Amino acid sequence: EGSLCLFVLQKYGYTHLSAGDLLRDERKRPGSQYGELIENYIKEGEIVPVEITISLLKRAMDQTMAANSQKNKFLIDGFPRNEDNLQGWNKTMDGKADVSFVLFFDCDNEICIGRCLERGKSSGRSDDNRESLEKRIHTYLQSTKPIIDLYERMGKVRKVDASKSVDEVFEKVVQIFDKEG
């Protein structure tokens, strides 16, 4: 699935940034002042403080644009996840970045858990276990869903039924990017 979506992103000139990947990379970085803190939040299925996540996203965006000024379109995966994230984004990125749309992969909780448990057999991720996943779903319902609802009211949500096959999901993503550019 991921490689198909990366193909779409490259075709339309987007750089993929995963908030989770950036946090996991920072957690592993030798000498990171945030490593242990990030690990504890991830393990508990909680949302890492916005200042940390925003600084990592901004650094990645700045590095990408410094290397190639034409690379100024980003798909930020897994962010914002709560009101604090949204306010931090608006405060830090006001006038620097515009949100064109939110790509929302909608999927039944049990399907998500099953897929993550399957991924957990080879991912080595500390949060790919049922207990952490159930905490993440609770956090999603309590904190993230209201952000998606807010963007929906603004007419910025593009929804994909992610319970479908990989090919069907891919086709829907292509349609969205064909329309949005």
Question: In sequence order, what are the residues at sequence separation of 6 or more whose Cβ sits closer than 8 angstroms to the Cβ of residue 61?
Answer: 17, 74, 97
Domain total for the chain?
A: 1
Closest CA to 113 of 100, 92, 129: 129
Task: Compute the average pLDDT of residues 51-71.
Answer: 94
Is 115 a residue whose pLDDT tops 60? yes
User: Which CATH number do you get for residue 120?
Assistant: 3.40.50.300
Mean residue pLDDT of the chain comes to 90
Domain that holds residue 27: 2-180
pLDDT bucket at 60, cuts 50 / 70 / 90:
very high
pLDDT bucket at 2, cuts 50 / 70 / 90:
low
Task: Compute the average pLDDT of residues 139-152.
Answer: 94
